[in-house]
Amino acid sequence: MSRMVKCLKLDKEAEGLDRPTYPGDLGKRIYLNISKEAWTMWVSHQTMLINEYRLTPVDPKARTFLEEEMEKFLFSDDAAMPGGYVPPE
């Protein structure tokens, strides 16, 4: 039986992650409060950010930026699309 969580991103009861996907306290918070569906949404958003801003995930500044955006995306309504972003058709 899968683990259920009250997903803060989707504001509904949903299937939880199978294991923590990020280290530290933020990872614990994600594991306890974010669903698989919301995490998948974040991974797509993160990919878009990496591509649009041409980020290198091994760069410490890029990692800090992505972590801040992840927290905004998953736990608030402050996440924004990059300026000038046009979604693919």
Is residue 89 one of the residues assigned to a domain?
Answer: no
Q: Based on the structure, what is the number of domains in the chain? A: 1
Is residue 84 one of the residues assigned to a domain?
Answer: no
Domain that holds residue 25: 4-75
> What's the half-sphere exposure (Cβ side, CA atoms, 13 Å) at 60?
0
Query: Which CATH number belongs to the domain containing residue 59 in this structure?
Result: 1.10.3880.10
Is residue 87 one of the residues assigned to a domain?
Answer: no
Q: What is the pLDDT of residues 19-44, one digit of tens each?
A: 999 999 999 999 999 999 999 999 99
Is residue 83 one of the residues assigned to a domain?
Answer: no
- Give exposure, 6-32, as e/b (b: 16+ Cβ within 10 Å): ebbbeeeebebbeeeebeeeeeebbbe
The pTM assigned to this predicted structure is: 0.88
> What's the half-sphere exposure (Cβ side, CA atoms, 13 Å) at 26?
13
pLDDT above 90 (res 57): no
Residue 65: per-residue pLDDT: 95
pLDDT above 90 (res 84): no
pLDDT above 80 (res 85): no
